[in-house]
Amino acid sequence: MKSSKRREFLGAAAATLALGALPFSARAAEGGKMRIGVVGSGRVGGALGTSWANAGHTVMFSSIDIEHDRKLAASVGANARAGTPREAAKFGEVLLISVPYHALPAVGKDLGELLKGKVVIDTCNPFLERDGDTGKWAQEKGAGLASAELLPGARIVRGFNAVGYARMAAASSNPGKFGMPIASDDAKAVAVVTPLIRDIGYEPVLVGGLAFGRHLVPRQPLAGERSVEEIKKIAATLS
């Protein structure tokens, strides 16, 4: 994205955040609670889903192991439940997809029409050593653009990509200390996701469109916990 177009996009996104662009984004911005479907309830999905449930949202955990999801939901309490990935996709006003990248094509295929128009938080990172040809392709294309291709119709916000799950689970104890870089082509989806990121304990920082998603992976300059200003300075050097 050219620098002038990036500034234009970020400005439009800021305006959308101020107005609240979807029926439930205004409710979320006012502290309203949401239904969140978690597809992939491992360390990251489990940590984020637990934090959202503790913040008062209703969360449905799902994975390839329903017994794991049931135990997790029981440990979290009244705001958590378990289901299949399709049930979670139907249930959630927002979806969190947090699976190994080589599993993402199957998720897109299995959930199909359920993803159309759905706001999706994408935490998935491609690694060559784990994800094989899919990981190689996604790294070459860029993780954000690759996820958009694998999850057609989803309104993707890429975030929570390069911070350890234990840190995310603890972030609410010191809210706003660190920023969370995110990338998206959909300003209205960003407006929906923004209060959810704050509920985890981070201040969201939109660094650009999905093409910038390639920077939101481990071992890149934006990885790790950084202040909002540090994130903005680093993002300004990227293209």
CATH number of the domain within which 184 lies: 3.40.50.720
DSSP element (H, E) containing 206: strand 203-208
Distance (Å, rounded) from C-alpha 78 to C-alpha 87? 18
The structure tokens listed for 1 are 């994205």
The pTM score is: 0.89
Per-residue tokens: 107: 């998720």
β-sheet with 80-82: strand ranges across: 80-82, 58-62, 35-39, 94-97, 119-122, 155-158, 179-184, 203-208
pLDDT of residue 239: 83
| Domain boundaries, position 62 | 3-235
How confident is residue 2, by pLDDT bands cut at 50, 70 and 90?
low
Which residues are bridge partners to 58 per DSSP? 35
Count of the separate structural domains present in the chain:
1
Mind listing the pLDDT tens digit for each residue in 8-46? 555 545 544 544 445 555 555 456 899 999 999 999 999
